[in-house]
Amino acid sequence: MHYSVLFLCTGNSARSIMAEAIMNYRGRPNFTAYSAGSHPSGAVRPEAIVQLESAHLPTDGLRSKSWEEFAKPDAPHLDFVFTVCDNAAKEVCPIWPGQPITAHWGVPDPAAVHGSEADVERAFREAFIILDRRISLFLCLPLKSLDGLALKRELDSIGQTATPVPRE
């Protein structure tokens, strides 16, 4: 079975972009991931690209785009939609064709961190680690054998999973 996953954030410049790249790499060949934003910034944060490249994940084709692309009749069928920022989780989402299973996987916004270059880099690394961990947990779920309610509970539980990050 093949599944499509959409990761949503407000700006679609960092967290949702990293999640898309992680899922497309770790979930192949059974998953195709996309990302979008309610108010896309129009650009992918270079710090997000650095995190992906340092993990040896492909970055080709990553772009900031509107969630409206995925609400159109010719959009890919979505099986799962995950919000990765608190703002997008509070917004009224478009009606997704096919009624995908949704969950909120809030991750602190690394783009909101101001400070030294090391502080910003640490924030992007921490966001990457949290997303990578949650996606890994998701990929371990026995999707074919879980009913909708059980699957929703598991996805919500994954969204509460934090990965302790050692401080330097």
Answer whether residue 66 is part of any domain: yes
Answer whether residue 168 is part of any domain: no
Task: Kindly name the residue from 49, 57, 85, 89 that is annotated as catalytic.
Answer: 85
Q: Is residue 134 a contact partner of residue 159, using CB atoms and an 8 Å limit?
A: yes
Q: What is the CA angle 102-86-74, rounded to 5?
A: 45
106-145: per-residue pLDDT in tens?
999 999 999 999 999 999 999 999 999 999 999 999 999 9
Task: Kindly name the residue from 5, 6, 8, 9 that is annotated as catalytic.
Answer: 9
Answer whether residue 56 is part of any domain: yes
Query: Structural domain tally of the chain?
Result: 1
21-53: per-residue pLDDT in tens?
999 999 999 999 999 998 999 999 999 999 999
Q: How many CA atoms lie within 13 A of 4 on its CB side?
A: 13
Answer whether residue 147 is part of any domain: yes
Domain span at 50: 3-159
Answer whether residue 154 is part of any domain: yes
Is residue 140 annotated as part of the catalytic site, yes or no? no
150-167: per-residue pLDDT in tens?
999 999 999 988 755 555
Answer whether residue 166 is part of any domain: no
Answer whether residue 167 is part of any domain: no
Answer whether residue 110 is part of any domain: yes
pTM of the model: 0.92
Q: What is the CATH number of the domain that holds 30?
A: 3.40.50.2300
